[in-house]
Amino acid sequence: MLGSPYVVSEDLADASETKIHTATCLTYIGRKEDAKTMRWHGPFESISAAQGAAKRIAAGSLHDCASLSGIHVRSFSLSPAIP
């Protein structure tokens, strides 16, 4: 493995898109572990594994309005987040 593992952030409040971070990212390191609005997935050993997880999370995450319209799906970022 080159570099640090990757983690995926899922914003349960739907305030931001699903993002891939390195495990050494200050956003991940400084996270509130008991936060009710954010879920972290991983670590993943490769960026491709993290990308796969981000795609699955984004595809399965529907905004509250989806129950009415059925068309809104949250997006995700394939680029690692910059701390």
Q: Which pLDDT tens digit goes with each residue over 8-50?
A: 999 888 778 889 999 999 999 999 989 999 999 999 999 999 9
71 against 31, higher pLDDT: 31
- Whole-prediction pTM: 0.68
Going from N- to C-terminal start, the domains of the chain cover 6-77
* Span 62-80, average pLDDT: 50
Looking at residue 63, what is its pLDDT? 52
Q: What string of DSSP letters covers the chain? A: --S--EEEEEETT-SS-EEEEETT-HHHHT--TT-SSEEEEEEESSHHHHHHHHHHHHHH-B-TTHHHHS--B--EEEEEPP-
Q: Report pLDDT for 74.
A: 47
